[in-house]
Structure 1
Amino acid sequence: MLHIGGSVRRTKIDRLIPASIFYAVLKSGKPQMDREMVWKDQTLIVNSTPIHDERGQVQGAVASFRDRSEIERMANTLSEVRKYSEDLRAQSHEYANKLHVLSGLLQLGAYEDANEFIREETASLKNQHARVFEKIKDMKVQAVLLGKLGKASEKKIHFDIDPNSSLERLPKQIDVMRLIVILGNLLDNAFEAAGKTDRPAVLFFATDMGDDIVFEISDNGPGMEEAVLRHIFERGFTTKTKEANRGFGLSNAAHAVSELGGFIEVHSHPGEGTVFTVYVPKRKGVDS
């Protein structure tokens, strides 16, 4: 983590790493906790505590280091799990609303209307699930898509699976948490963009033909200017609002794809919607 090799005995610490935190501990005799230190393109979290002798004099300091990127990755993962849980709650809420409508029709004695309502809902669900389960064989991707179908339904967004999709089980290195980060964020971004139109629509496509696994998510939103496209994967960049916790979704998705050895392409023009295409190599360690 500190990129220090060989013996460093009797070497001043400031010749090895930035030492201001440790000198502050030695001078004040007080611990320095959760301080940030930038070193070798890393941001480290440092805790340093003084070492006292029997007379209470400071004789040295001990320190621990944590990679902030690991901490951030854990926080991001928890955030994605929470968003996925919200998608499932949206799906449950949508079904609850439909059950209330059905209950009301039965109480009113409108049995034919109730039957028609059931037939329409059954046909709609059958079509949606047929696309998911017939075209997409990986259970992890199925789970993500089913959660997003519920969210899209609640938001009145037409979300469909491209009938040309064909995806078998994914390699083990593509775990469910990375899928939630990648597909979850890209689909949420597409839903938000499409939601700005009168007839919002999002299309999902997946294939594993060739050496790469390819996911494509397109929306009919307002599209983006070239100046925006150059920055969309930068951490903290957003065109939506200056609220906290915005501008991280696409950055997290790009980082997760990069960890798998893949990359993301994006095509967008003002007024023409946006298409995100993810390429992930099937074999670990093989560049796309």
Structure 2
Amino acid sequence: PTAFRVLYFFKYLFSFTPKGTAYESVKLAIEVGYRHIDGALVYFNEHEVGQAIREKISDGTVKREDIFYCGKLWNTFHPPELVRPALERTLKTLQLDYVDLYIVEMPTAFKPGDTFYPRDENGKYIYHDTDLCATWEALEACKDAGIIKSLGVSNFNKRQLELILNKPGLKYKPVSNQVECHPYFTQPKLLDFCRQKDIVIVGYSPLGTSRDASWVNLSCPPLLEDELLVSIAKKYNKSPAQVVLRFNVQRGVVVIPKSFSPVRIRENFQIFDFSLSDAEMNAIEGLNKNIRFVELLMWSDHPEYPFHDDY
């Protein structure tokens, strides 16, 4: 967990990126100094990510143990008998022997099958009965087999985390919970709970998100245009994005910004040569609006939709 907190992170959030984009971006990221690569089967680019990792290992830039790869169990693979085949599919695509972290991407199970987003004839998503504890036991077996180093979750609320933590016969607790986290949505209650349980918060969308109304809550204004963040950035001769990333890193939150821009990939890494004052940290925390950019409302009728709870 100590190394987990001090590393800097890189995320691939969107599917169907142009061919070669993920490959070139991951190669550059590793050269710049990124070591944690956050991926998933449903990003549809693990073949390129794996190729980039393997090439950087073969050319001597890094060793395999230097890379921290996070993979994800998608919603259609929650039944225990599907967990290991899903992981092995990722390993085969990456052409790696193990993943460093494997997380349950959502607590919301979908109907198993050939499609990742199953719908009925009316376009309604088809859900599946969720037994998160049974899914977790299958993941524990994969860790025992040596093909996962650590286990975690994503988008889990306090109740769902407690369901795992209080599971009879628990062998391995979640080491991380990947959730939306940035100055407009600071997650104070969940962060405090996870700290008490020694669970690392990994913050996705740490710079906010795109302004795509099809899936983004546009009632929240653009994060990086905030006047306070812009003024602090000018003081340190940094960008608002660098200030936002520095803020979360200083409060012990792992950040996984997504970028395919070489300039921004380098810029997002350049946050270790300055520190925010206590007053600045408090002021940025004061920006919290408790409003999510990423609400995932299309699944809000799922019995395990996590965002109905306070945290």
Q: What TM-score results when the alignment is normalised by the length of structure 1?
A: 0.20
- Of structures 1 and 2, the one with the larger relative CO (CA 8 A, separation 6+) is 2
Q: Which has the higher strand share?
A: 1
Give the TM-score, by structure 2 length: 0.19
Larger radius of gyration: 1
